[in-house]
Amino acid sequence: GDHDPGLSPHVEQVNSLREIQALRRLNPHPNILTLHEVVFDRKSGSLALICELMDMNIYELIRGRRRPLSEKKIMRYMYQLCKALDHMHRNGVFHRDVKPENILIKQDVLKLGDFGSCRSVYSRPPYTEYISTRWYRAPECLLTDGFYTSKMDLWSAGCVFYEIASLQPLFPGASELDQISKIHDVIGTPAPKTLTKFKQDSTYTLLIF
């Protein structure tokens, strides 16, 4: 995944360890990227994860495409993505960064990769660090201070579904506020009960609603 170059090596290693633990816990599964080995370079202090080679990611598959994918292919890919998420969530892990770049394919096989942002469902919210690419981020991630669950992965999967079917991103927000605005334009205002919950879990109240 893309790691912030500003992070200290220690933080970097801890993140990598979380990724390794998740991959080990989730392997083997036909729709989770296979981790072959972990190489630690003592000299540079860097960790390398050696994973199986796939053909491309979903972003590369759809970028610049003129003709849509067949419905059969879209169904096959989405079924496999849902199988991967179901397997993860049953094993107590949520991904937190499901997006086309992190979904790998090899012919008709789809595998979820890049577990650098994943969390255990047993760790307690609020979760603090920045997660998930904005366009695929669920409203509860945008509107609360880290109060979200594994359901956020399903939101992201829905955004991916729209994108592989239409070849266009569903909510391409230019900023956090624009992101919320784009979701709001399509889905409408959340129910008062939902808004109240968002307000409880947030240090600021959004003026957009």
Domains, in order of start, for the chain: 56-200 (1.10.510.10)
Give the span between the Cα atoms of 71 and 13, in whole angstroms.
41
Q: What is the mean pLDDT of the chain?
A: 85
Region at 92 (left for phi over 0; alpha for psi -120 to 50; beta for the rest): left
Tokens of residue 121, six digits: 């469902």
What does the pLDDT read at residue 203? Answer: 61
Give the span between the Cα atoms of 73 and 13, in whole angstroms.
37
Q: What is the residue type of 187?
A: I
Average pLDDT over residues 179-207: 79
Catalytic entry in 2, 4, 41, 97: 97
Secondary structure letter of residue 102 according to DSSP: G
pLDDT tens digits, 52-89: 999 999 999 999 899 999 999 999 999 999 999 999 99
Q: What is the pTM of this model?
A: 0.84
Q: Which residue has the higher pLDDT, 199 or 103?
A: 103
Q: Is the pLDDT of residue 138 over 50?
A: yes
Give the span between the Cα atoms of 196 and 200, in whole angstroms.
6
Q: Is 108 a catalytic residue?
A: no
Q: What is the residue type of 191?
A: A
